[in-house]
Each structure stands twice: as C-alpha cells, then as structure tokens.
Structure 1
Amino acid sequence: MIVPTANIAHSGINLTNCESEPIHIPGYIQAHGFLVALTADDFIIRYVSENTNAFVNRSATDLLGKPLDALLSGTELPVADVAAILNVGKRENAWSRMNPHRFRLNGRDWNLIAHQHDNLIILEWESADTTPGNLEQQLVAEALTEVQSNRTLTELIQNTARRVKQIIGYDRVMVYRFSADWHGEVIAEEKEPHLEPYLGLHYPASDIPRQARELYKTNLVRIIADVGSTPSPIFSVAEQREAQPLDLTHSVLRAVSPIHIEYLKNMGVQASMSISLLYRGELWGLISCHHATPRFVDFPARQAAKFVSQLLSSALEFRKDEEDQAFLFQIQQNEQKINSQILKDWDVVVGLTQHPVTALDITSATGAVLVFDNTYYSMGSVPDESAVAGITNWLGTEPFDTVFQTDRLPELYPSAEAFRDVASGLLAIALSKDLNEYVLWFKPEQVRKVTWAGNPDKPVTVAENGQHQLHPRKSFEAWLQTVRNTSEPWKDAEISVAIKLREDILQVVARKANDVRQLNERLRTAYEELDAFSYTVSHDLRTPLSSIRCYAEIIMEEQGPAMDEDTRVMFQKILDSTERMRSLIRHILYYSRMGRTELNFKKLDMPKLLEVIRDEILVTENKKNRSLRIEFGHMPSIYGDPTMVNQVFTNLMSNSAKYTQRAKEAVVRIDGRETDEEVIYTVKDNGIGFDMKHAAKMFDLFKRLENAANFEGTGVGLAIVKRIINRHRGKIWFHSEPNRETQFSISFPKEPRTP
C-alpha cells in the first residue's frame, strides 16, 4: 500500500504547535524540485515526492519499491553514472564535498544534491542555472580579501549584506543578530531604493522558534523559492518502519511550516532565503533575504552566498575573541593584583576594598559590595545598606552554591525595582551562604526604546470548531516599546574571573582559620605554661615571702624594746611591703585563672550579695575613724557566676570607698535598672575622680592613674572586672570629673549566654 508521510503540521495549528512542531519531518517538499530516497545497500526507492511525475514522467506509484533504474530508465542519464557517485559518497562519506552533481535530464539541466541519513540516501533534484558564475567568484574573492584586511566588524557585516544581495539578486538582504533572549535586531541592510528600511527593527523570539534555530545550526542555507506554490507530499510503502515520516533535517527542498508561509505572505514576501551566522558553533544571527516575487537561486549560487557568510562568521569569531581576550586579560590582571593584596595584607576586607585596585575592577559593574563578618563594604554606586541586606537574604533562598547572575534583577526580586537605577543587574559570589557573606556587583538600568516590526504578540483566533489557533501578525509597522528593569548583560569573562576571586578569598579564609587553630593550640600550650608559672608564683615565691615576714616579726618581738624608732619604722615597712606583695600575687593568680574558669550561671539575689560586701567594707573603713555612707537604690536580679559577680562589685565598691577618703562626707551609691535586653548597675562616688583624657588605660593591667599614686593598689582590680564582664557577655563604661565624682556602669544580659 502507498501512503503519504505528511505530518499533521499541515492541518490544524494550535497554541502548542509553534514551539513543538516537528519541522524536520514535514512530509512535504517545495515544488521547484523533486526528491527520491533509496536504501543505501541496494538502491531501492523507499520514498518519493508526488511531483516526480512532472520531471521524469514516472509516478510515485510506479517508482516505490523499485530499483534506481526505474527512475532513470526513460531519461538520457545513465544509471551507472549516478550509481558511481552514490558508491563514492557511501565509501568516503564525502557528500558535502561532492555536491552538486550537474546532469541533463529530459532536456533540462539539473543539480543533484545527495546526502545520507541513517540507511537512506536522499537524492534531491533542482534546476541548474545556465548563466556563468564569474560574478559570484569575483564577489567571494573580494569578501575573502576584505576579511583579511583590518576592516571594522560593522563594515564587514554591511559589505557582506551587499555581496550576498549581488550574488542572489533579492530585493532585500538583512543581517539579523540574536540577543540573549533570542529576539533579533536588524543590524545591517541592503535593499532596493523603493523599499522601506527595516534597519534597527527588532523581531520577537517567537518569530524563529527554538526547533527552527536548532535546524539553522545544522542546515546553514534555506530557500523558499515561491511562497504561493503548493508543497509536494512525500509517499512511501507502508512496510514496517518505512512508513515513518522522512527526516529532512539536511534537505535542501524541505517544505516549511504553514505558519511561516503565512508570516511571509503577511510581509508581502514571495521568496525568502536565510543563511546562518555561527559563533563558536552556536547561532549568532542570520542573513535574511526577501524578494517580492517568486525567485529561485540555484545551489552553486547559494553555496557562494554561504561561503561569504562563513567568512563573516570567521571574522565574527576572530574579532569577538580578540575583544573578549583583551577584556579578559585586563580583569584577570586586576584579579591577580587583588589576590596579591589579600595575601600581603592577610586581610580579605583590606585587600578587596582599600587599595587603588578593588573588587569593583574585575567587572564592568558600576558598584560592588563586600558583605563580610556582618559588615557592608561598598565600592562605587550601590543600593543602601538595608537594600543590600534584603538582596543577601533573598540570595540565601536561591538554589545556587557558587555564582549567581542576572541582568533582570527586578523581575526575579521585585523589591529591586526601587533601586533599579543602580542595580538592575546583579552578579554575586557566595563566600558563605550560612554566614550570609557575599561579594556583589551591580549594573545600572539601561532604559531602551525598542522598535519592533509590528506588535510582537501573536494574535489568537477561535475557529468554527472552537479550537484556538495561532497566527503570525499581519502588520509590521513600527511598534515602539520602552524596556526597563534590565542592565547590560554579564560577560562570560566577568563570571569566570568572579569565580576565580571567590576561590582566592576562600583559600585565604581557610588559611586564616587554620592559623587560628594553630594559635589556639599555642594558646593552650601557653595556658599550661601559665599554670606552671602560677604554681611557681604561689609556691616558690610565697614561701620565701612568708619567711621574710616571719623573721621580721620575730626580730621586732625579741628586739623591740631595744630598737630605736628609726629601726622600728624600717621593720614595719618590711612587713607592709610583704603584705602588698602577697596581695599582688593573689590578684595575679586570680586574673590568670579567671579566663579559663567555667562559669556557673545562677539568678543572683543582689540585695543579699551587696549587703554582705557593704558590711565587709564598712568594718574595714570604720577602723580608720572616717565617715562613709554606702547607699542602695533599686537592686534587680541578674544572671551570673556568683563568685565572679561578687568579685566585680567588691572591686568597684572597694575602689569607691578608697578614693573617697578625702571627702568630708563620703558617699557611695549603688543603683540598678532593667531594659528589655539587659540589667544595668551603676556604682557612683564623690571621690577624687579623674581626667577622662587618661581613660584609655583604665583597664590596662598594672596601670594606675597619676592622681591615684598616693592610694594603695596593684593596678589589677579593674582589669579583673573588665575580664569578668567580658566573660558574661556584658559591657562596662564610666564617666568622671576630677575632684567631684566617678561613676562606673556595668551591664549583664537578662538571660545567661554561653561565654
């Protein structure tokens, strides 16, 4: 049984057909030629176009299932000549180099274009032009010479359009460049004077669907000789798999989608030709050619036009690579400089942000932000800090681990529309998503006026059967659109160098973390040595000190009556000095061990704790026959280690008592208050005070202010207080006026925190 292999694409067209239509197996060819497909092993005819009868006087019914002889038996073309060509093509897989083969068939000159697909050899016959090809050869030679010269790319593109027009004789030849979203723009045009210009017009991506773009990468030249002709169906014998539609991916006669035919008719085009422009194997653009009347261009002329386009593709690749390499080299140099800065400074922040070359210089961005260690470091023009915080929080929810980039940030993150003037484009590398650490680069909005060739939205109509049908637009009048919320796209070079910078930063961070581990190990060793030293101080030094004190007391007791007054005073100074030394040793031991003592947090009864300290201080001070009053205000509870908190208030209250000795009516007041987050206590006195200019060394170990020189002390007490407060994750601050007052304030978190 003889069956047609036509695809359903030539019947109803619904909304899903445009992107999914299998255009490589339409089941039809164009009417200006005919097609025969043979099995490669025995040259038996398995597919044939219906119009074959018009060219060789044999119907499809007569030919299907027959050997090649049946096709040529009634012509002057020897079967052996064709068979020899097919055998060479099979043996050497040299189809593209061999095409076309010129034959005379039934009084006409024909070009035979052959190729093999799977186990089928597909023969396509087209009319051969009898005019000489000298002009084509001359134009190709000129194009080759021009590409080798130092012409600008713009000139090369425009001259390519002109030469292709001269070769094929079409009314209009356009060079059409694709953007990242696959919509196209006419960037060069050669046309007849009476035609309106299309230069600068944009065409939506839907004009050339995805599957068509894929075919353009494989089959570089396509021609539609007559939009108004009726395609010829392809027939096959219904035997097993042979009844499947013939794959016409590499065909030169393949019919096109009815939607595209309707599109061309709406434009007033009767013949069309397209030539692919590739960059690194991907579709960069098209040379799109239109003619107002049917026009066939034979295979050699099409190949000449293709060669000119391939020269342009080579120039595109060379010039673009040259430009990209120059840009890449520059930003790579900057990245290497930044890496050297980071290593030299041993500081990520300084290396990235505080040199003449910063992180901003590895892209063409206008602003950058380093988000590191809960701090924002800005370079150039960037959104405000709250906006950047919003971006980083959003990035934390996005599914990427290394790099993120977009030139349409407001479309993905609507809040960005508020600052699109500085950040419509975003490139981000994640240093640590868990810690919310990133380097961000921003590009501003580029407001563009895009002129479309007609409204880019395809109209939908409802047929009598209720089915929705999609049709190409009928009007191609200029349709202006303002494009917002987009930036200049990110280059591959920018992304790759940003990734390299990320690796360099993380390496330094890792090395610093390793250094911290080593320092911790050294610190542990130092603590062990300090323990040994503390034991030496407490044992080896305290023992001879006790002996000195003991011997001095014995001498004073035994020789007391015989001593003169000067000698007695000297021995008393020995006793006082040994007591001060014992106190100093005791404080040093406490300070050194305090940092490693485990805290035991409890809710403390502050009235009870403070009253015990007050009683101890008053007992000591009353022996000195002085007037001292210690007052309490509000005393809220705090969470802390009982021993350490006792030490804090003992030091502060004792200092206040000591430094009010010269006051006529000495007063020390302790008062507490609560906020939402913490409990704050103040210890205030009316003692000698101090100049705030000297406050910087208040908590230094063994440091004492000048006006305290005449008062007993070791210079360790406030250092101990500061260390205890730090262990409790609290704060300490102070204010003083000489000879008037001093106030120390300390705060503790309301809830205990892990130190």
Structure 2
Amino acid sequence: MTLNVDLTSCEQEPIHILGHVQSHGYLVAIKPETYSIVHASANVAELVGQPISELLGQSLDALLAKTDLPVNNLKELLNVGRRGGSWDTINPHQVRIGGRLFNLIIHEHDGLLLLEWEPTGDTSNLPFNQRLIAEALNEVQSSRQLTDLLQNTARRVKEIIGFDRVMVYRFGADWHGQVIAEAKEPQLESFLGLHYPASDIPRQARELYKINLVRLIADVGSTPSPILSSPELSEDRPLDLTHSTLRAVSTVHIEYLRNMGVQASMSISLLYRGELWGLMSCHHYSPRLVDYSARQSARFVSQLLSAALEFRRDAEDQQQLQQSREYGQQLHEQLIADDDVVRALTKRAVTALDLNSATGLVLLFNNQQYHLGKTPDEAAIRDLTTWLKTANPNTFMETNQLPVLYPPAEAYAGVGAGLLAIELSRELNEYLLWFKPERIQQVTWAGNPEKPVSVSENGEVRLSPRKSFAAWTELVRNTTDPWTEVEVSAAVKLREDILQIVTRQANEIRLLNQRLQAAYEELDAFSYTVSHDLRTPLSSIRCYAEILLEEYGQDFNPDARALFQKIMDSTDKMRALIRHILYYSRMGRTEINAQPIDMRKLLESIREEVLISEKDRALKIELDDTPSFNADPTMVTQLFTNLVANAAKYTRPRPEGFVRVSGQQNGDEVVYQVADNGIGFDMKEAGKMFDLFKRLENARSIKGSGVGLAIVKRIVSRHKGKIWYHSEPNRGATFFISFPIDPAD
C-alpha cells in the first residue's frame, strides 16, 4: 500500500484560522463602524460574568460593564490607533477586570478590530531587562565574532523570559534548521549542533513568523477556548488570527511539543532582508506565561541581532562583489588585448577560475576542451554538455546538487557536485563550466526525520510527529556550498564579454550566418503579414465597433457599452504590440545613423515623459553624470525609454519609486547604469531576460508585452555594445549598458 500523506500536508493546514485561542487570554472582535461584537472567545463569559450569547451582536457597553475602562475611553483609544495607523504606542494598555490586572492588546485586520486581554506578569524585572537591551546594543555595535554574538543574545533572552532553554536555530537553503547557539539550565542535555527537518516548521508557519516576530505558547496542556461568532456572519469565513497574540496551536505542533516534553514554548523571528534567516526557539518544561512587556524586550533584542546579521552580511557581500568585479574587469581587458578567448581565460595571470569559489573549470571552445583545476574527465564533460542542451533551456545554470539533477555526476562528485554553467553557443557546443567538489557532511538530527506518517488500527492515515528525539546521524553526500548571487552575476557579465569578442571574430565563418539569412527572409514575410494582413482587420474591428456605439449606443445597456469599449481598447493594445514587433524585426536591418548625442537632453526628455505617465504615484527619477557618445539617436532614445519606463513600472509596488540613471566613460567606451528600488528578480531565473515574449515569474502580475528588453538587447548589439544586469528579489535591479565611444571604430 502506498501512503499519499507526508509532512508536506502540514503546509495545507490553515493555522491562521484555527478557530480557538489559548486559554490564558480572552479575545473579542468588533466592527469598527458600530463597535458591535461579532466574535468572542468562549472564556470571555467567565471574565465578565455574562453568557456569550448576550454579548454577540451587542455594543462594547455590554462587554465593559464590569471593567474599570469606560466605553468612551476605549472608543477614544481605538480612534487614536486607527487615525495613527499603528497600535505600537498603545499596546499594551492595562485594564482591571474583576480585581485582576490585564494587558489589553489591540490590532486591526481584515476589516475588524481585535481586542485581546492577557494577564499582566511581574514587572519588577523591567530595569534589569532594559540593562540587558543596552548591553545587547553595545555588543551589536562592536566587532565581536558572530558565534559569540548569537550565544550572548541567547543568554540575554533567557534571562528576560526565564525559560529553561533558548536556542538560536538557523535555516538552511532547503529550510531544514540547525541549532547554532544555546543557553540552558545546567541539568539539561545540550541540543547545540542538532539538525531539524524542514517539515518541523512548514511553509505557512514560516510565513507567519515573518509577520508575528514573537509567538508564545504558554501551556501546551491547556484546553484552548473556541471562538464563537455572531449568527449573521457567514460560516465559511472564520476569524483570521494572523496577527493575534493568543492564536491557538495546531494539534500536530502540540503533539510535537509533548513528544519533546515541552510544556511552554516561545519563538522569536530572526530576519535578513525581510526574509526568515532563523528563529530563537525557547522551551520551558512547565507552563509559563511571559508578560507582554517582557516579550517585547526579547523581540527588541532579536531585532538588534537581525540588524547585526544584515550589516555583517552586507559587508561580506560588498567585499565579494568588489573582488569579483576586479577579476571580471581583468578578464575583460585580457579578452580585448589577446583577441584569443582560450588564452585570455585560461593562460593568463588571472583566469576564469579566479572569478568565483570553484575549484575546477572547463572551457569548451572550437571543438576543444580546456581544463583548469580539478574537473571531470573529457568523456564525462561531453556527456554532461549533451544533457545540458536538453535539460536547461536558459543560457546559464547553477546547482549545488548536480548528482541529484544528473545522476551520472555521482561518479565524479568528489570534484563536481556543484556546477555553474554558462552557454556560449548551444549549436557549437561551447560552454564555460565551473565545478565545486562534494562536501560530505555528517549531520546529526534530533531524531529520525523520515517517519512522518502513522496508521491507526482502522487504517486511517494521519500526520504523526516523531516521538523520539535521540540523536540520529547520517552522512549527506552529493552536495556542496551554494553559488552566490554575486558569482552568478559575474558569470553572466563574463559571458557578455566573451560573446562580444566571439562575435567580432566570427561574423563571416560561424554557423549562424546561414540561419540568420533564413531568419531575415522569414522576418520580411512576417513584417508584411503583420503590417497588412493583421493591422487591416484590426482597424476594421475598431471602426465597426465605433459605428455601432455611435449609431445604436443609446439603445445599449451599460454592460453592452462597456463590452464595446473593451473591444476598442483591446484593438489598441494589439496595434501597439504589432508596432513593437515590427520595430524589433526591422532593427536588425536598419542602417545605423551614428552622430553625437546630447545624453543629458535626451534623458531629461525621457524622464519628463515617464513622470507624466506615472503622475498618480510617488516616483523620483534622478540623473547623475551623462557622458555623450556617438550612436543612432532614434535607437538610443528607444533603448533608454524602454529601460527607464521598465524601471519605473517595476517600482509600482513600492510606496515611493526611485530610479537613477548614471554614466561613466572608461577608456574608449561609455557605461550607463539604470538602477531602481523595485521588485527585482532572482539572478538564477534570469537566463530568459532578453528573449522575445518571455517574462520572469515575479513580473507576471505587472502588465507588459515581453518585447521591450528584446528590443533593447538588439539595439545594444547593433552598436557593438554589451548589456548585463544585477538584481536580488525585492532589492531592486540595475542594468548596465556599455557603448563604444564611436561604434564605427
């Protein structure tokens, strides 16, 4: 029998709408317009001495009759928070109910105001916590080792919250985690160094950790209180507890904690560039409620640590980027000086092997193989490139697990478990291949991670967290360190440098000539079809739609008129797309009319046009140095219009868009940069960037034709220039364009 359930099923569990809250607190959800109660946890009845049925649908007056917080005061509190758009200055607000002191925590989500009460704790440690925060701030600002910083942060958080164990848990690329720092009570065994499978924290839980930076489970053994709803609400829309501090816990996770012997749990998120880097995972072996203020202190310490991680990582990335650029520039100069690709890349002081952290390099060029460092043999390389042609449609490929994707590579994993491949010519089987050796790891797991499913006596299959957390060791093979964004970016740039030299050398002799001639003939036929056979019927469609609207529009209902308007809008879009395709097809044959271009004037005109088209949003376009060069004015205008408009378009998800255009003269060429703060893209998925009608996955929600960058690439090539790029998801993108001062030279 095959079981179709595993722990990936956890990712389908709606943990943000479990319909319960933890028993130590109380929750009420109200409509902000009327302040009427639409949801309440069942235990609220115990708090205020009234049945929930008498509260649902009623105003706040009914709820607050037995508290020392007048209704008007609470409404004013809610109004202040809503006007300011933030509850940080209000939370927590202390209120006394039935002689007990509670922290009131408020947030607004999904059109409702959620009010949560939880008992206050001991506040005598506040001065001590403030001292710990000050110490943490001083340490972050110093140049301590990261391991010491993590260890001391774990110790400080343990002192603030009083838990038995605090661990710093770092996620790997596959989302499994490892304990890399720990503070614990002396009698407890150490978990330092243990690994935990990715299924322990499924995807939707990781997403919530990015929203709720602190998560407390005060008593694993307590019975959660159900949330009751007003009868008029739809049953298929339960209360969303994404931002709730009292959100109950998945039964699978409760079982997991019980299996570990944990009675209280707390997690604090560690973020790097807005993404989950790791967690501070805190365990207590008896129930423990951590006061809201203490949780906020712990959260602040973790945010300091997140800032330190980002600062240190950025510094490391900048150093690597600078070194990569220096080697890349040296290789570029060698390619120009030698006019010999093989010599420039493999036989000079700086070789292509120096460009990244690889230990082996193979250059396939002109039916020959050139090997540097430790690489697979020639027969293995021939088989590998045959596989690359069919398995990888892009112009580059990177993996740190080549034997997983290509099983024959297991035979040479000792030299080539990691591959970064750059395609120079698919037809001629020309590639640059970098290799990294296998890094065999002995990984110690907290229990065997490969037993996710159990079967009951009646045959029911269910998720079952492992019950044993005894150390379980395995060897991890066929993997190596991942390739970095900087390494991929440098390889993409080197490919452009090589192709520029190759194109200059082989314009008359390479196999592309015959295919280009056939392509030009097809483009002529295509241009004729588009300009006559397509544009004429489109014009007729629009004309007839206009006539129908004009002659009979008064008899149409609003829906019919809207449909006719959509027909006309669609024809306009199609005509624009045809115009772009025609421009692209003619670009390869149009003669270049090179003349000096006043780039400052040209870019100011483009900036004005783009700002007018984006007038309804906050957008700044900054022009720095704009050196002039000789080129075709029409083509260069089209090129920069596409790049600047694209940059502006992909900043739309940002509250304030920013685009910077700058240029610099380097010897006999001019290099321009167009940088933005938009959505960016993953360099590992950008091999199709300049392909006609191809768009990256994260850009599909933004309107576009997939033609603009193809036109840009063709214009750059016609001017004997180069274009490359560097980006990271959600960190903006930068396009680099180099032009010779005079393309006729």
SS in 1 for 2:416: coil
- Corresponding pairs, count: 506
- Return closer, same or farther for 1:14/1:158 CA change in 2, 3 Å cut-off: closer
Measure the CA separation in 1 of the matches of 2:450 and 2:25.
35
Residues 455, 473 of structure 1: 8 Å contact kept = yes
Q: 1:152 aligns with which of 127, 145, 148?
A: 145
Aligned to 2:272: 279
Aligned to 1:44: 36
Q: 1:352 aligns with which of 345, 351, 354?
A: 345
Measure the CA separation in 2 of the matches of 1:383 and 1:476.
40
Deviation of 1:464 after TM superposition, in Å, equals 4.1
- Return closer, same or farther for 1:150/1:509 CA change in 2, 3 Å cut-off: same
Q: How does 1:342-741 map to 2 (within 5 A)?
A: 342-514=335-507
Measure the CA separation in 2 of the matches of 1:398 and 1:95.
52
Do residues 236 (structure 1) and 224 (structure 2) align?
no
With 501-510 and 419-428 compared, the bigger mean Cα shift is at 501-510
Aligned to 1:264: 257
Residues 14, 467 of structure 1: 8 Å contact kept = no
Amino acid at match of 2:434: W
Do residues 136 (structure 1) and 124 (structure 2) align?
no
Measure the CA separation in 1 of the matches of 2:326 and 2:292.
50
Residues 68, 95 of structure 2: 8 Å contact kept = no
Do residues 90 (structure 1) and 77 (structure 2) align?
no
With 139-148 and 500-509 compared, the bigger mean Cα shift is at 500-509
Aligned to 1:66: 58
Deviation of 1:16 after TM superposition, in Å, equals 6.2
Aligned to 2:241: 248
Amino acid at match of 2:445: W
Residues 196, 446 of structure 2: 8 Å contact kept = yes
The superposition leaves residues 243-275 of structure 1 with CA deviations (integer Å, 9 ceiling, x where unpaired) of: 611111111000111000000000010000000
Do residues 100 (structure 1) and 92 (structure 2) align?
yes
SS in 2 for 1:170: coil
Q: 2:114 aligns with which of 119, 122, 143?
A: 122
Residues 15, 469 of structure 1: 8 Å contact kept = no
Measure the CA separation in 1 of the matches of 2:193 and 2:6.
31
The superposition leaves residues 365-405 of structure 1 with CA deviations (integer Å, 9 ceiling, x where unpaired) of: 10011111211111111010111111111110113312211
- Return closer, same or farther for 1:437/1:235 CA change in 2, 3 Å cut-off: same
Aligned to 2:543: none
Aligned to 2:209: 216
Aligned to 2:300: 307
Residues 15, 468 of structure 1: 8 Å contact kept = no
TM-score with structure 1 setting the length: 0.66
Aligned to 2:668: none
SS in 2 for 1:426: strand
Gaps of 5+ in 1: 1-12, 521-755
Deviation of 1:514 after TM superposition, in Å, equals 4.3
Amino acid at match of 2:361: A
Amino acid at match of 1:171: D
Do residues 30 (structure 1) and 22 (structure 2) align?
yes
The superposition leaves residues 446-472 of structure 1 with CA deviations (integer Å, 9 ceiling, x where unpaired) of: 111000000012342222442201110
Identity of aligned residues (%): 62
Measure the CA separation in 1 of the matches of 2:348 and 2:60.
78
Amino acid at match of 1:88: V
- Return closer, same or farther for 1:226/1:438 CA change in 2, 3 Å cut-off: same
The superposition leaves residues 722-743 of structure 1 with CA deviations (integer Å, 9 ceiling, x where unpaired) of: xxxxxxxxxxxxxxxxxxxxxx
SS in 2 for 1:73: helix
Q: How does 1:168-247 map to 2 (within 5 A)?
A: 168-241=161-234, 244-247=237-240
Amino acid at match of 2:419: L
Residues 277, 286 of structure 1: 8 Å contact kept = yes
Greater Rg, structure 1 or structure 2?
Answer: 1
SS in 1 for 2:387: helix
Aligned to 1:325: 318
Aligned to 1:81: 73
Gaps of 5+ in 2: 514-745
Deviation of 1:123 after TM superposition, in Å, equals 0.6
Q: 2:10 aligns with which of 1, 12, 18?
A: 18
Residues 226, 295 of structure 1: 8 Å contact kept = yes
The superposition leaves residues 68-123 of structure 1 with CA deviations (integer Å, 9 ceiling, x where unpaired) of: 11110122221111111101111111113321111122211111111111210011
Measure the CA separation in 2 of the matches of 1:207 and 1:497.
36
- Return closer, same or farther for 1:196/1:395 CA change in 2, 3 Å cut-off: same
Deviation of 1:24 after TM superposition, in Å, equals 0.8
* Aligned alpha-carbon RMSD (Å): 1.6
Deviation of 1:511 after TM superposition, in Å, equals 2.6
Deviation of 1:62 after TM superposition, in Å, equals 1.4
- Return closer, same or farther for 1:190/1:253 CA change in 2, 3 Å cut-off: same
TM-score with structure 2 setting the length: 0.66
